[in-house]
Amino acid sequence: MFNSLADALPHFRNTNSGQFFLMAGPCVIEGEEMALRIAERVKHITDKLQIPYIFKGSYRKANRSRLDSFTGIGDETALRILQKVSKEIGVPTVTDIHETGEAAFAADYVDVLQIPAFLCRQTDLLIAAAKTGKVVNIKKGQFLSGEAMKFAVDKVKQSGNEHVILTDRGNSFGYSDLVVDFRNLPEMQSFGVPVVMDVTHSLQRPNQASGVTGGQPALIETIAKAAIAVGADGLFIETHPTPATAKSDGANMLPLDQLERLLIKLTNIRQALQDTGSVKDLGVAGL
């Protein structure tokens, strides 16, 4: 794990090129070998493309449709794996928390604390995350507009922590679908914080009759391209060597062997926008 916030921040920032940053990894930590394998592969790709990289992995899944759904391999076991990824691969790590007591506990192992979308209005949780001094990534609720996220940002900042990221993951549409309103990205950027597009969760099909969330992974490239074109500061992509065997959210994951090709296309789009002057002052200066 990084020794301090100052050590981690350069990995969020590439002000010279205006490059986007990437949060990527499996939905949930399934084991040490797989986590290291994914992190090492993504780090190799992002180093080559000069994309700042943050490894993502949930140490525990609390928001499950069914009681028999996989929730994790044990809290401390998974957090120690995240810590090992950071030390051995040399990247910051992000994981989500669900209750106030988890904030300080998880902060001992990771660099970024993530607030799940369905908990983004939980004041006590936001304050607890803020008080750890870690970067706080707040996912926009599927039930909220981008404009409404100003108050979540204010809760963290007014608790003494200026290091906030906002992440969009689509809006509820009917009972079993999500849509992405790209107006939310510039709206949330107006709060002076970096804004990330959660590409894979935006393509979920929740509330399926089976109790297992569905997805539309064929549209990952479409959403990612649009987000970069709009000017997203970062992307969030869940990836797995074999999504069909993933223990959580396999239906909307990107196969790991498809990531490099996608990121090449996205860096080309960002570079074209930079060359034409369509995108200015990108990066994550809000951190």
- Please report, rounded to a whole number, the percentage of residues in the chain having pLDDT higher than 90: 70
Burial (CB < 10 A; 0-12, 13-18, 19+), residue 37, is: middle
Q: Are 250 and 265 within 8 A, CB to CB?
A: no
Strands 254-255 and 171-172: unpaired
Check residue 69 and give its pLDDT. Answer: 64
Helix 259-276 vs helix 32-49: crossing angle, to nearest 10: 30
More confident call, 233 vs 63? 233
Q: Please report the domains of the chain, with CATH numbers, ordered by start residue.
A: 5-276 (3.20.20.70)
pLDDT in tens, 124-149: 999 999 999 999 999 999 999 999 99
Does residue 20 carry a pLDDT above 90? yes
- Once rounded to an integer, what is the mean pLDDT over residues 99-112? 96
pLDDT in tens, 169-204: 999 888 878 899 999 999 999 999 999 999 999 987
Does residue 282 carry a pLDDT above 50? no
Q: Are 193 and 166 within 8 A, CB to CB?
A: yes
Q: Taking all residues of the chain, what is their mean pLDDT, rounded to a whole number?
A: 87
Please state, in angstroms and rounded to a whole number, the distance separating the CA atoms of residues 243 and 238: 10
Check residue 285 and give its pLDDT. Answer: 39
Q: Are 79 and 59 within 8 A, CB to CB?
A: yes
pTM, entire model: 0.89
Please state, in angstroms and rounded to a whole number, the distance separating the CA atoms of residues 37 and 30: 12
Does residue 283 carry a pLDDT above 50? no
- What are the start-end ranges of the H helices in 90-201? 100-107, 123-131, 150-157, 184-189
More confident call, 198 vs 208? 198
pLDDT in tens, 55-84: 999 998 776 555 556 666 899 999 999 999
Query: In the chain, count of helices (H) and strands (E)?
Result: 9, 13
Please state, in angstroms and rounded to a whole number, the distance separating the CA atoms of residues 213 and 176: 9
